[in-house]
């Protein structure tokens, strides 16, 4: 028998929906053992690797991903910047033609850039149109995103939110894709 003190009220919370990636592979060596299988399992053949200049040129992380995927160096977009802007996101949108998925490698900025650009590429419009609390249930089908985090921090790989600064106003916006 559970007795509830008279000073405790029952508060009815609104329904909470938790959204997370449908596929999550964790562990050392996962890129080498699982990445190719995940891409093929999605029915994709032409991935675009999205990262930053440091990871692309100063580490072997991106070259490992490129090797596993069998893509060319031209299939790597390494122009993401810390704290992505609408201008930097648009540069990625313009590079996405001909690709059928995105593999984002890095910290929060490459992943946020990839998520925002994928939504714009598929659905069009301006990023400010997707500013939270905007919500419309849409799944990315043209360019699904595979995220490979290289840091422990933002959690961008497990959310549908992205943070992008509006290049015109300087306002930092949380966007839902």
Using one digit for the tens of pLDDT, what is the confidence trace for 58-92?
999 999 999 999 988 789 999 999 999 999 999 99
3-state secondary structure of 114: helix
User: Are 51 and 110 in contact, with CB atoms under 8 Å apart?
Assistant: yes
Report DSSP state, residue 12: P
User: Are 131 and 107 in contact, with CB atoms under 8 Å apart?
Assistant: no
Cα(91)–Cα(87) distance, integer angstroms: 6
Using one digit for the tens of pLDDT, what is the confidence trace for 8-65?
445 555 555 555 556 677 788 888 889 999 999 889 999 999 999 999 999 999 999 9
User: Are 35 and 65 in contact, with CB atoms under 8 Å apart?
Assistant: yes
Per the listing, tokens 């559970």 go with 2
Write down the pTM of the prediction.
0.83
133 prior amide bond cis, ω within 30? yes
């Amino acid at each position: 028998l559970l007795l509830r003190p008279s000073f405790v009220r029952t508060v009815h919370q609104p329904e909470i929906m938790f959204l997370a990636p449908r596929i999550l592979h964790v562990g050392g060596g996962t890129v080498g053992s699982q990445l190719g299988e995940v891409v093929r399992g999605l029915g994709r053949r032409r991935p675009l690797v999205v990262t930053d200049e440091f990871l692309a040129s100063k580490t072997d992380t991106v070259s490992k991903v490129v090797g596993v995927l069998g893509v060319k160096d031209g299939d790597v977009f390494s122009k993401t910047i810390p704290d992505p802007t609408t201008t930097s996101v648009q540069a990625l949108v313009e590079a996405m033609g001909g690709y059928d998925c995105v593999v984002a490698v890095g910290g929060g900025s490459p992943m946020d850039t990839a998520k925002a650009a994928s939504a714009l590429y598929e659905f069009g419009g301006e990023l400010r149109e997707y500013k939270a609390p905007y919500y419309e249930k849409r799944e990315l089908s043209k360019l699904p995103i595979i995220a490979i985090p290289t840091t422990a921090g933002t959690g961008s790989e497990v959310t549908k939110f992205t943070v992008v600064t509006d290049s015109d106003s300087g306002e930092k916006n949380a966007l839902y894709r």
